[in-house]
Amino acid sequence: MDVSFEESPTHLTAHLSGTYSLAGMLQAIDVMAAECGKRNAKRLAVDVSISGDAPLADRYEYASHAASALRHVRKCAAYAGPGQRVEPFTQIVARNRGLSLGVFCDRQDALAWLLAEG
């Protein structure tokens, strides 16, 4: 799984590409956390344009990992690529562990939530 970044004045966007694997997702989260730290980004948008689907157990594991790794990020909004399944379970797990994560079907909704105060 590959990660590329796009910076704007309000937030950092991570673009994920490639094929899903749990190991790849955990590594991508670590890369995003490091990049947010390096750029002092407090808001992160994640474009999950990958192929493949994560089982529920994997979603639990990477949501828990994201809550820990991205603890210095104020808000994180993930949005699905074409054909990706949006799973509220991921959002619930991350939020229960302290990460303000929103999971969305499209970029526009994700950015509106990410950039709203609160």
What's the domain count of the chain?
1
Structural domain span for residue 82 = 2-115
pLDDT higher than threshold 80 for residue 103: yes
The helix or strand, by DSSP H or E, that contains position 32, with its residue range, turns out to be helix 22-39
pLDDT tens for each residue of 27-72? 999 999 999 999 999 999 999 999 998 999 999 999 999 999 999 9
Structure confidence at residue 87 as a pLDDT band (50, 70, 90): confident
Which distant-in-sequence residues (6+ apart) come within 8 Å of 100 by Cβ? 74, 75, 76
Residue 100's CATH number: 3.30.750.24
Structure confidence at residue 117 as a pLDDT band (50, 70, 90): confident
pLDDT of 29: 98
pLDDT, mean of residues 7-21: 96
pLDDT higher than threshold 80 for residue 81: no
Nearest to 115 by CA among 38, 37, 41, 64: 41
Nearest to 43 by CA among 116, 114, 118: 114
pLDDT higher than threshold 80 for residue 88: yes
pLDDT higher than threshold 70 for residue 118: no
